[in-house]
Amino acid sequence: MPTHVFPAARFTAATAPGGLPLLGHAPAFARRPLAFVAGLPAHGDLVRLRLGPLDAYVACHPELVRRLLAEDRTYDKGGLVLDRAREVLGDGLATCPAAAHRRQRRMLQPAFHRDRLPGYAAMMAEEIAGTTASWRDGDTIDVPAAMYRLTTAVTARCLFAAHERAGSLPVHESMDVITRGVGRRVMMPLPGVDRIPTPGNRRFRRARQDLREITERLIADYRAVGTDHGDLLSMLLGARDEDGQGLSDAEIHDHVVTFLLAGMETTAATLSWAWTLLAANPSVRARLHTELDTVLDGRPARHEDLPALPLTARIVSETLRLYPPVWILSRTVTTATELGGHRVPAGATILFSPYLLHRRADLFPCPDRFDPDRWLTTARPAPGTYAPFGLGARRCIGETFGTTEAALAIATIAARWTITPTPGRPVRPTRSSSLSPRPFTAALARRSR
Ligand code: HEM
């Protein structure tokens, strides 16, 4: 594991080669975003890009990423990627500016306190069992769709536990349209295209409206009853700031949509990639089966099993290294400053990419190899090298929620099923702001122990 201490070295800066007149690097970025971004460290630690009319800098060195994320007022939420996400998420926790963030984060943190986790995990376990109950030996499933259904059911249940059938609330359909719509918009550097009344844009707007109505109805129901249902919405309704002030309905709505959007696609992508990696690495899969058979003895995984499932946890960490679902993010420079000794002007967009960091051979030997045992060491990676959940004040609030959900789903499913992607068709990522696999099918085989 990388344990480097980065000296107060000089950091190099360069403009990425190959920019075209007018369009700059936008075509190369749009064509093969992952390969393009992963190739940038070869040019410098801070690499300048032109994306159409926009200038952007990519922080390629872990120490620069650490500094960028440590100074959340100088490098605030905003820029290319965030501005488009804000159109949907409003001023929810993930998209609000630094000035509003401290208060919000303090108010919402208790909803993700570790004491709440066992309650969420019990709901997760039920939803995992429910989603896989219809699986039959020999079935072929669309893996990303199945994992998306699973994480939607889990997130909806943990948000709205009191709703009779939270897992089947019509949030599924609207969230699906919204997630994909946001992903596409974020990758479209040209503003305005999303306002053209195409069928896709109309569907997107309708989905946002539907989701707003569902959450408003649920908020009203909960306010009327007024008890703690052990779920996220109860926590949002009970949240108070230092002056005893609660959240408005509009703020709660933005947080609900944020949790749905932030939690569903990311965890679904992690699970889908995990199944492809396990199928491609049968020796790891065999060791996983041994761990699960020993600890679970055929029953579904529970929260209290997790400490006894270290290989399962390493598989989650290694999957997130190879395929960090949030693979690229942006910040906007609020006041002219310097990053690594290089001046960056106010208003500039700075990008950073967990994918880029995780695939650097100087940080992770044989970076493309799936090797959960690289996490056996107790040394923590140097700050800025491993960042699937971001870093600093804006680090993911749902990290433990997401890793718990992923570990429970992998353990419960792998204990009973092997999932083997249909041969001959390599699984490829979508071209989106989230690193999800394109649809792929797999055969289910019930395991006999
Ligand atoms: C594997 C699953 C997940 C991954 C990889 C992930 C990744 C991330 C990343 C990279 C950030 C930082 C964004 C930035 O710096 O701009 C973030 C923030 C956030 N995530 Fe997650 N996330 C996951 C699961 C979840 C879940 C399950 C929830 C909620 C239920 C959630 C809610 C949030 C929120 C609200 C923020 C904003 C935090 C803040 O600014 O204070 N995430 N996530």
Q: Whose CA is nearest to atom 37 of ligand 1?
A: 94
Position 346 scores a pLDDT of: 94
Q: Stretch 364-374: mean pLDDT, rounded?
A: 96
* Between 223 and 390, residue with greater pLDDT: 390
Spacing, Cα 32 to ligand 1 middle (Å): 25
Mean pLDDT, all residues of the chain: 89
pLDDT at 51 over 60: yes
* Between 171 and 447, residue with greater pLDDT: 447
Spacing, Cα 396 to ligand 1 middle (Å): 4
Q: Stretch 277-285: mean pLDDT, rounded?
A: 98
- Compute how many other C-beta atoms are within 10 angstroms of the C-beta atom of residue 258: 23
pLDDT band at 80 (very low <50, low <70, confident <90, very high): low
Phi and psi (nearest 5°) for 183? -55, -45
Position 6 scores a pLDDT of: 53
- Compute how many other C-beta atoms are within 10 angstroms of the C-beta atom of residue 299: 11
Q: Whose CA is nearest to atom 9 of ligand 1?
A: 389
Q: Stretch 293-304: mean pLDDT, rounded?
A: 95
Q: Are strands 337-339 and 342-344 parallel, antiparallel or unpaired?
A: antiparallel
- Compute how many other C-beta atoms are within 10 angstroms of the C-beta atom of residue 283: 7
pLDDT at 29 over 80: yes
DSSP string, 136-180: -TT-EEEHHHHHHHHHHHHHHHHH-TTSTTGGGSTHHHHHHHHHH
CB of 28 sitting under 6 A from ligand 1: no
Position 197 scores a pLDDT of: 77
Q: Whose CA is nearest to atom 3 of ligand 1?
A: 266
Position 169 scores a pLDDT of: 55
Backbone dihedral region of 18: left (phi > 0), alpha (psi from -120 to 50 degrees) or beta? left
| Among 64-78, 109-123, 133-147, 205-219, the least confident range | 205-219
C-alpha span between 429 and 431 (Å, rounded): 6
pLDDT band at 192 (very low <50, low <70, confident <90, very high): low
**Percentage of the chain modeled with pLDDT above 90:** 64
Position 191 scores a pLDDT of: 59
pLDDT band at 406 (very low <50, low <70, confident <90, very high): very high
DSSP string, 348-385: -EEEE-HHHHHT-TTTSSSTTS--GGGG-SSSPPPTTT
Q: Stretch 19-40: mean pLDDT, rounded?
A: 92
> Taken in order 36, 37, 43, 46, is the CA torsion positive or negative?
positive
pLDDT band at 66 (very low <50, low <70, confident <90, very high): very high
CB of 94 sitting under 6 A from ligand 1: yes
pLDDT at 72 over 70: yes
Phi and psi (nearest 5°) for 420? -120, 110
Structural tokens at position 363: 């940080």
Q: Stretch 285-300: mean pLDDT, rounded?
A: 96
Spacing, Cα 342 to ligand 1 middle (Å): 29
Q: Whose CA is nearest to atom 7 of ligand 1?
A: 389
Q: Stretch 342-359: mean pLDDT, rounded?
A: 95
pLDDT at 248 over 50: yes
CB of 158 sitting under 6 A from ligand 1: no
Q: Whose CA is nearest to atom 1 of ligand 1?
A: 267
**Atom nearest to 329 CA in ligand 1:** 16
- Compute how many other C-beta atoms are within 10 angstroms of the C-beta atom of residue 63: 21
pLDDT band at 349 (very low <50, low <70, confident <90, very high): very high
Q: What letter represents residue 221's amino acid? A: D
pLDDT at 202 over 90: no
pLDDT band at 223 (very low <50, low <70, confident <90, very high): confident
C-alpha span between 444 and 221 (Å, rounded): 40
Structural domains of the chain in order of their starting residue, each with its CATH number: 13-424 (1.10.630.10)
CB of 260 sitting under 6 A from ligand 1: no
Q: Which residues pair with 429 in a beta bridge?
A: 437
**Atom nearest to 405 CA in ligand 1:** 27
Q: Whose CA is nearest to atom 12 of ligand 1?
A: 390
| Among 56-70, 99-113, 138-152, 157-171, the least confident range | 157-171
Helix, strand, coil % in the chain, rounded to nearest 5: 50, 10, 35
Position 224 scores a pLDDT of: 86
Structural tokens at position 112: 């993700």
Q: Where in 105-144 does DSSP place strands (E)?
A: 140-142
Spacing, Cα 428 to ligand 1 middle (Å): 23
Spacing, Cα 431 to ligand 1 middle (Å): 20
Position 374 scores a pLDDT of: 95
pLDDT at 313 over 70: yes
What is the b/e burial string over 69-91, where b = at least 16 CB atoms within 10 angstroms of the residue's CB? bebbebbbbbbbbbbbbbebbbb
pLDDT band at 164 (very low <50, low <70, confident <90, very high): low
Q: Stretch 298-321: mean pLDDT, rounded?
A: 97
* Between 18 and 405, residue with greater pLDDT: 405
C-alpha span between 445 and 6 (Å, rounded): 48
Spacing, Cα 258 to ligand 1 middle (Å): 9
C-alpha span between 260 and 254 (Å, rounded): 10
pLDDT band at 3 (very low <50, low <70, confident <90, very high): very low
Position 56 scores a pLDDT of: 93
C-alpha separations of 187 from 51, 76, 273, 348 in Å:
11, 20, 21, 18
pLDDT band at 185 (very low <50, low <70, confident <90, very high): low
Q: Stretch 423-445: mean pLDDT, rounded?
A: 90
CB of 326 sitting under 6 A from ligand 1: yes
Structural tokens at position 64: 């620069």
